[in-house]
A and B are shown apart, each in its own frame.
Chain A
Amino acid sequence: MITEEIKQNIIKELGIESLPSEKAEEIMTKLEQSIERALTLEVLDLLTVDDQQEFMKIAEAENNEDMMSFLSLKLPNLDSLTKAVAESVVREFKDFSK
Chain B
Amino acid sequence: MIKEPRENLNSEGVETEPLKVIEGLPAQEEELKLEMSPEEKVDTALERQEAQLSFREKNCDKKILSGFRKWLGIATVMGASLLAVGCNAEKPSSGFTDNTHQNVEQRVKNAKAQIEWNKKMKNYKPSEETKKFAKEMQESQIVQPIQEESGFIDKDNNIERPSNNVEQGPSGRVMNPEDL
Q: Which residues of A contact B86 (CB under 8 A)?
A: 31, 35, 83, 85-90
B81 touches A2 (CB 8 A): yes
A96 touches B49 (CB 8 A): yes
Q: Report if A86-B46 is in contact (Cβ < 8 Å); known contacts: A41-B56, A44-B60.
A: no
A contact face: mostly helix, strand, loop, or mixed: helix
Q: Report if A19-B84 is in contact (Cβ < 8 Å); known contacts: A9-B89, A40-B69, A64-B74.
A: no
Q: Report if A97-B42 is in contact (Cβ < 8 Å); known contacts: A2-B84, A82-B85.
A: yes
Contact with A along B152-163 (1 / 0, CB 8 A): 000000000000
Q: Could you count the A-B residue pairs with CB atoms below 8 Å apart for me: how many are there?
A: 139
Cross-chain contact of A93 among B49, B57, B72 (Cβ < 8 A): B49
- Size of the B side of the interface (Cβ < 8 Å), in residues, is 44
**Which residues of B line the A interface, CB within 8 A?**
33, 38-39, 41-42, 44-46, 48-50, 53, 56-57, 60-61, 63-65, 67-77, 79-91, 93
**Which residues of A line the B interface, CB within 8 A?**
1-2, 5-7, 9-10, 13-14, 16, 18-19, 23, 27-28, 30-32, 34-41, 43-44, 52, 55-56, 59-60, 64, 67-68, 71, 78-79, 82-83, 85-90, 92-93, 96-98
Question: Closest 6 CB pairs between A and B?
Answer: A86-B86, A96-B45, A9-B89, A97-B45, A13-B87, A90-B86
